[in-house]
Amino acid sequence: MVTIRCRNTQFSNIAAVVFDKDGTLADVERYLRSLTLRRCQLLNEELPGLKDPLLRAFGVEGDRLNPAGLMAVGSRRENEIAAAAYVTATGCPWLDSLRLVQRCFRQSDQDLAHRASQTPPLLGIPALIQQLADAGLKLAVLSSDTPPNIRDFLETYQLHAYFQVLGGAEPGKPEKPDPTLLDTICEQLAVTPVQTIMIGDAQGDLAMAAALGAGAIGVRWGWPGFPPPLEGTVVVDRPEEIEVVG
């Protein structure tokens, strides 16, 4: 068991740390904003007039992306449904709306190929992961991104060997911030939630941990100039503020 200090708070008897990915491990703001713009452009080509309301719905605010907005926090499926609702409002049947959105989303993925190469680890993240692994902690990722994208990110930056369990968004399964996801990760790591810390940049990450009695650390380091609104016992601005002390 390990003791972790974060500012003026200590977490004792810790066996595992679970990370969110986007905005916590990976620098994603520029990529996600570009992807949002491309999705909205393609949909606007099909139905002129949709671009601006869709950009607002996804959380694009000028040249920044709202870290608490739909694109930053929601799963792909949630983004598809939200976009399809706007398409349906133009009079398009629901299933046709959903198919149109999915086609535009797939085209956007192709236009911005290889997400991992455009979303490097945030400054200080490799050192934090190394510190936690050297202390004998079990590590996992729990993200709203898909399992293949999570694996691709970790493998691209030679971080995969540090993580025992990966959890991502899959069709027909619960999505963040459902606490059962974190509970399942703990079971797979063979630890209890009270022996676990969840580290993430969204309020949903902290809420998941609180629901299970796990520790939680909110992080703002992935969104310089536009810090996410977080309410929690511990909120930090730099990875160096998380230390193994015993």
Same domain, 92 and 50: yes
Predicted confidence band at 75 (pLDDT cuts at 50, 70, 90)?
A: confident
Domain interval for residue 145: 2-28+119-244
- Please tell me whether residues 149 and 207 are part of one structural domain: yes
Write down which residue in 116, 136, 158 finishes a domain.
116
What's the total number of domains in the chain?
A: 2
Instruction: Say if residues 5 and 37 touch (Cβ distance below 8 Å).
Output: no
**Beta carbons of 40 and 55 less than 8 angstroms apart:** yes
CATH of the domain at 193: 3.40.50.1000
Q: Exposed, middle or buried: residue 116 (CB in 10 Å: 0-12, 13-18, 19+)?
A: middle
Give the C-alpha separation, 83 to 35, whole Å.
Answer: 14
Residue of 22, 58, 18, 16 lying closest to 152 (CA atoms): 22
Structure tokens, 169:
């968004």
Q: What type of residue sits at position 21?
A: K
Domain check: are 152 and 236 in the same one?
Answer: yes
Residues 6+ apart with CB under 8 A from 66: 59, 60, 72, 226
Q: In terms of Cα–Cα distance, which of 187, 179, 225, 180 is closest to 206?
A: 179
Q: Which token pair is 56?
A: 């607002």
Do 8 and 106 share a structural domain?
no
Domain shared by 33 and 128, yes or no = no
Q: Are residues 11 and 41 in the same domain?
A: no
**First-to-last CA distance in the chain?**
9
101 and 161 share one domain: no
Q: How confident is the model at residue 228 (pLDDT cuts 50, 70, 90)?
A: confident
In this prediction, residue 52 has a pLDDT band, given cuts at 50, 70 and 90, of very high
Q: Where are the beta strands (DSSP E) in the chain?
A: 2-6, 9-14, 16-19, 60-61, 64-65, 138-142, 165-167, 196-200, 215-219, 235-236, 242-244
Report whether pLDDT(233) > 80. Answer: no
Residue 62's pLDDT is what?
87
Percent of the chain with pLDDT over 90: 87
- Which residue, of 84, 101, 116, is where some domain finishes? 116
- For 144-183, the pLDDT digits (tens) are 999 999 999 999 999 999 999 999 989 889 999 999 999 9
Question: What token pair was written down for 37?
Answer: 């713009």
d(CA 26, CA 40): 23
**Structure-token pair, residue 13:** 């008897």
Domain shared by 90 and 139, yes or no: no
What pLDDT is stored for residue 231 in this prediction?
82
The model's pLDDT over 28-45, given as tens digits with 9 standing for 90+, comes to: 999 999 999 999 999 999
For residues 229-242, average pLDDT: 90
Of the residues 63, 98, 116, the one at which a domain ends: 116
How do residues 1-38 score in pLDDT, each as one tens digit?
999 999 889 999 999 999 999 999 999 999 999 999 99
Nearest one of 182, 191, 201, 189 to 142, comparing CA atoms: 182
